[in-house]
Amino acid sequence: MSKRQFNNILITGGSGFIGANFIHYLFKQEFQGNVINIDKLTYAGNPENLKDIEKKSKYFFYQADICDYDKCKDIILKHNIDCVVHFAAESHVDRSIHGPKDFIYTNIIGTFNLLEICRNLWKDKDNTLFHHISTDEVFGSLGDSGYFFENTPYDPRSPYSASKASSDHLVSAYFHTYELPVTISNCSNNYGAYQFPEKLIPLMILNLQEGENLPVYGDGKNIRDWLYVEDHCSGIYSIIQNGNVGETYNIGGENEWENIKLVNKMCSIMDELFPDNSPHNKLITYVKDRPGHDRRYAINCNKIKDELGWKQSVDFETGLRKTINWYLSNTNWINNIKSGTYKNWLQKNYESR
């Protein structure tokens, strides 16, 4: 199978957790083209995530909102973009429950804008691709058994997952209606470096480090399938190089954990690292469950394995320890997020551009 080659890849949301990791991955793979990152730089988009990439000659950054059609169109035209990898999204379920409006605008209208721009600019171009990053949450909730497949009916339960489901359908519709070359991937829960500490694993690491309570929703028996972020990035790269246009691919960790067992696992690792504070599981605190909390997610990813030869490369024990060590070793990154220093840095460096 001959691989697709691109000259100018646009990453939307490239200063966020997975987007930043994907940009790091591209440079590790010695991608020969240009990498253009547009990010609105909301609370979860942190320029420090790419501090060691900024000075590379093939990297370009623009502070831009994907809901700003004209600005995005200008950037895509200026850099002659031939591949879009679309990460930009509001992504936290709790925030979507308390304030769904931003999720509707960014995840639906923003995706529509990008699709329209590409549809109009790529009419006479060959070798283009719009790759859309989605989530397993669009499929709803599983019982004690079974898995999400690429053809599993959508059944979103939160404003976040409903907005992502809508964007997935839009992307698919642009393929069927306008023959826009697209691919879609639905991933399971990611973990690793650069994740904003509102999500389970980094939140628990920070609270463990500071001796604060570890809040666990409900009975703690909700199950998630955990995927190391670099394995997710390698899956995306496989799809944009070799994935069949118009197809959806699931990227999963095949690594299910009850939330409470995962938190206890993290406590045991911290017991090893900081025995004087043991046992860390004394900090576990059960809190009221959130509305519409899906019970179990689990992804079948045989399609990407069989068709594209992808597989996970990092086992959970290794990935979890690497993640914990990264957060413990990057106190400046954490302190800047807590203090808002990077917001001030943002104003000084980017808002005048």
Active site residues per annotation: 136-137, 160
- The Cα 246–Cα 76 span in angstroms is 22
H helix count then E strand count, the chain:
13, 12
- The Cα 241–Cα 346 span in angstroms is 34
When computed from its CA atoms, the radius of gyration of the chain, rounded to whole angstroms, is: 20
Nearest to 130 by CA among 33, 6, 1, 305: 6
β-pairing verdict for 83-86 and 59-63: unpaired
Two structure tokens written together for 331: 């106190």
- Nearest-5° Cα angle at 243, 240 to 245: 95
Residue 265: which H helix or E strand, with range? helix 259-273
CA distances from 200 to 67, 98, 258, 262 (A): 29, 18, 12, 10
